[in-house]
Amino acid sequence: MRVKKSLGSTCSISSPLTQILRLLAIFRAIMRRSRFKSYKMNSFLNTLMYLDKVIYWRARFGKFLILARLPSGLYILQPNEPGAFNLLEHIQVCKIYTWPCEIEKNDIVIDCGAHVGIFSLEVARKAQKVIAIEPHPLNYKLLKLNVTLNELNNVITLPVALWEKDHRWLKLYVAETSVSHTIKPNMLGSARYIYVPSMCLDSVLSKCNLDRVDMIKVDVEGAELQVLKGGKEALRLAKYVVIEAHYQRGSTDFNNIIRLLIKFGFKIYLMNNLIYAFKV
C-alpha cells in the first residue's frame, strides 16, 4: 500500500473531469424531471458520465437488474434502482475510496459492506487478495455472480454481518434500496428485517488465515463503530482504513471512531462523510 498524494486538512478529490461529470449528472437529473426530456439526450449524457477511459454501456434485464461494463473493463450486475449509477460514478470515476493510495500487487484488502462488489472487484484486479463481506442474501448472490462473471479467483466472499462480537444471528433491517440495509434499527425506522449470521472483524482474520492487512474499507450503514470495535487486531495490522461514516460529524459515535483510530496510530483526514486513516 503506497500513498500517492501528499494530504492536507483541506484535501479534495475534485478534478476538472470530476466536476464536468457531476454537472452532467445534475443536468441529466433535470432532464429526467422535465416534460421536455429527450431519450437521445439522456442516452448521450449516460455515455458522457462514464467516459473516464473507455466507452460505457448498459443493458437492462427486465426491470430488476442492470449489467454495466465499467471503464476498467469489469462487468457489474446490480439492482436497477434509484442511485445505481451514482454509486458506479463515485467508486469508478471519483474513486472515493482509493484516490489517496496506490493498490499494489501484494496487498490484502478487506471490504466491509461489499454490496454487489463494485469496489471489491476493482481492487481485486491489482491486489493479491480481497475479502468481500456482505450480509444481505440477494446482494451476496450478485456479489458471487460478479466475481464469477469477471473470472477473479483472488476474491473471498463471506455472507455475514460484521459486529463488535461474534453472534450467531443478528437482525438486518431491510431498506427500499439495496445499498441501505442496516443492522442499526434507528437508521431506517423500518420494521422489516431478516436474520443473518454475524461475526466480528478479528474473527474474519482467523477464518481467512490473515496475518497482515493493507487496506480496510468500511461502509456498513451506521454500524461502523461496532465493526471497528470488533476489529482491534485488524486495526493493529492495517496500513490504511477508509470509512464512509453514517453519523453526523461531531456526534458521539463519530468522535469515538476518530479516537479509536488515533489510539491505533492512524493519522486522520476528513472529507464530507468519509474518514481516511493512515498509519503515521
pLDDT > 70? residue 28? no
- Number of compact structural domains in the chain: 2
Share of the chain above pLDDT 70, in %: 76
In a domain, 179, yes or no: yes
Question: Are residues 153 and 55 both part of a single domain?
Answer: no
Lowest mean pLDDT among 40-49, 50-59, 135-144, 207-216: 50-59
Cell 427486465, residue?
62
Which of 46, 69, 94 terminates a domain? The answer is: 94
> The sheet that has 240-244: what strands, in order across it?
155-158, 129-133, 108-112, 215-218, 240-244, 274-279, 266-271
Angle formed at CA 129 by CA 123 and CA 135, multiple of 5 degrees: 80
Question: Are residues 44 and 99 both part of a single domain?
Answer: no
**Residue burial 154-170, b: 16+ Cβ < 10 Å; e: rest:** ebbbbbbbbbbeeeeeb
Question: Are residues 263 and 278 both part of a single domain?
Answer: yes
Q: Are 21 and 56 in contact (CB under 8 A)?
A: no
**Nearest alpha-carbon partner for 137 in 184, 55, 79, 85:** 79
Q: What CATH number does residue 237 fall under?
A: 3.40.50.150
pLDDT of residue 164: 94
**pLDDT tens column, 146-186:** 999 999 999 999 999 999 999 889 999 998 889 989 998 77
Q: Which residue has the higher pLDDT, 113 or 51?
A: 113
Question: Are residues 167 and 180 both part of a single domain?
Answer: yes
CA separation for the pair 70, 82 (Å, rounded): 18
CA terminus-to-terminus distance, the chain: 13
Q: Are 274 and 243 in contact (CB under 8 A)?
A: yes
In a domain, 52, yes or no: yes
What is the DSSP code (8-state) at residue 92?
Answer: I
pLDDT of residue 80: 86
Question: Are residues 76 and 137 both part of a single domain?
Answer: no
Burial class, 60, CB count within 10 angstroms (exposed 0-12 / middle 13-18 / buried 19+): exposed
Q: Which helix (H) or strand (E) holds 267?
A: strand 266-271
Listed in sequence order, the residues at least 6 apart from 123 whose beta carbon sits closer than 8 Å to its beta carbon are: 98, 103, 107, 109, 111, 130, 215
In a domain, 135, yes or no: yes
pLDDT of residue 91: 82
In a domain, 8, yes or no: no
Q: Which residue has the higher pLDDT, 270 or 57?
A: 270
Which of 94, 119, 144 terminates a domain? The answer is: 94
Q: Which residue has the higher pLDDT, 163 or 22?
A: 163
pLDDT > 80? residue 206? yes
Question: Hey, what's the cell of 133?
Answer: 463481506
Confidence tier at 137 by pLDDT (50, 70, 90): very high
pLDDT of residue 72: 76
Start-end of H helices in 61-136: 84-88, 118-124
What is the DSSP code (8-state) at residue 62?
Answer: T
Q: Are 214 and 108 in contact (CB under 8 A)?
A: yes
In a domain, 192, yes or no: yes
Question: Are residues 46 and 158 both part of a single domain?
Answer: no
**pLDDT tens column, 63-103:** 678 888 877 788 898 888 877 777 777 787 678 899 888 89
Question: Are residues 170 and 111 both part of a single domain?
Answer: yes
Secondary structure of 172-241 in HEC code, one letter for each residue: EECCCCCCCCECCHHHCCCCCEEEEEEECHHHHHHHCCCCCCCEEEECCCCCHHHHHHCCHHHHHHCCEE
User: What domain range is 74 assigned to?
Assistant: 13-94
**pLDDT tens column, 210-262:** 999 999 999 999 899 999 999 999 999 999 999 998 887 778 899 999 999 99
pLDDT of residue 5: 55
Question: Are residues 192 and 62 both part of a single domain?
Answer: no
